[in-house]
Structures are given as structure tokens and as C-alpha cells.
């Protein structure tokens, strides 16, 4: 078996950076579509980690997990977009700051 060319810690670091870029996207952006994309980024960061660890352990459970995450992400994107559409269909602008009927 061939050892990994790149230390595992580098993969973790890379994925962590991507993950937190995703998190930052959710926090700072007001466009729900971008928010959904940021969430996709977070999932992808996790996927990268799964696959890197899979390779490190030479255990394909990580692949399966990544596959499941992709499936779920797809379903989530579909439902999320549907909700975004229903929420903003009547509105003239797309801004999560505008949807705050409930608070307190």
C-alpha cells in the first residue's frame, strides 16, 4: 500500500477552512440562495474529510458516508429551494432579514 503523499493534518486544515468559509457564508449573507450554497460548502468540507480519512485508514466507510451526504445534500437543496421559492414568490426582494415576523 502506498502512504499518503500529503499529511492528513493538511487535509483536515483545508477542509476546516472550507467548512468555516461555508459557515461564514451563512452568517454574513442575506440571500437565502447563497446561504444554501454555503451549507453545500459545509457538507463538501465534511465529504473531503471523510474521503481523506478513508484513504488514511484505507477503509471505504468514508466513501459510503460521503455518498450518503451527497444524497442528503441533494434532497436538502431541493427542499430548501422549494421553501425559498414559496417564501419569496410574493416578495420583491430576496432577503432573510425581511422574514422576521416571529421573534421574542
Which residues, numbered 45-84, are part of the site for other proteins (CB under 8 A)?
45-84
From the CB of 11, what's the least distance to other proteins, in Å?
8
Q: Total binding residues for other proteins by CB under 8 A?
A: 101
From the CB of 32, what's the least distance to other proteins, in Å?
7
Binding track, positions 1-40, relative to other proteins; x by CB under 8 A: xxxxxxxxxx-xxxxxxxxxxxxxxxxxxxxxxxxxxxxx
From the CB of 44, what's the least distance to other proteins, in Å?
6
- Rounded CA-CA distance 65/88 in Å is 33
Could you write out the DSSP letters of every residue in 11-71?
HHHHHHHHHHHHHHHHHH---HHHHHHHHHHHHHHHHHHHHHHHHHHT-THHHHHHHHHHH
- Rounded CA-CA distance 33/13 in Å is 26
From the CB of 75, what's the least distance to other proteins, in Å?
4
C-alpha grid cell for residue 55? 484513504
Amino acid at each position: 500500500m502506498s502512504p499518503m503523499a500529503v499529511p492528513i493534518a493538511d487535509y483536515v486544515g483545508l477542509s476546516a477552512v472550507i467548512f468555516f468559509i461555508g459557515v461564514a457564508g451563512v452568517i454574513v449573507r442575506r440571500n437565502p440562495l447563497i446561504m444554501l450554497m454555503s451549507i453545500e460548502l459545509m457538507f463538501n468540507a465534511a465529504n473531503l474529510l471523510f474521503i481523506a480519512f478513508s484513504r488514511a485508514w484505507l477503509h471505504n466507510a468514508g466513501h459510503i458516508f460521503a455518498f450518503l451526504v451527497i444524497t442528503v445534500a441533494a434532497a436538502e437543496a431541493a427542499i430548501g429551494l422549494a421553501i425559498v421559492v414559496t417564501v419569496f414568490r410574493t416578495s420583491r426582494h430576496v432577503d432573510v432579514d425581511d422574514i422576521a415576523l416571529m421573534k421574542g
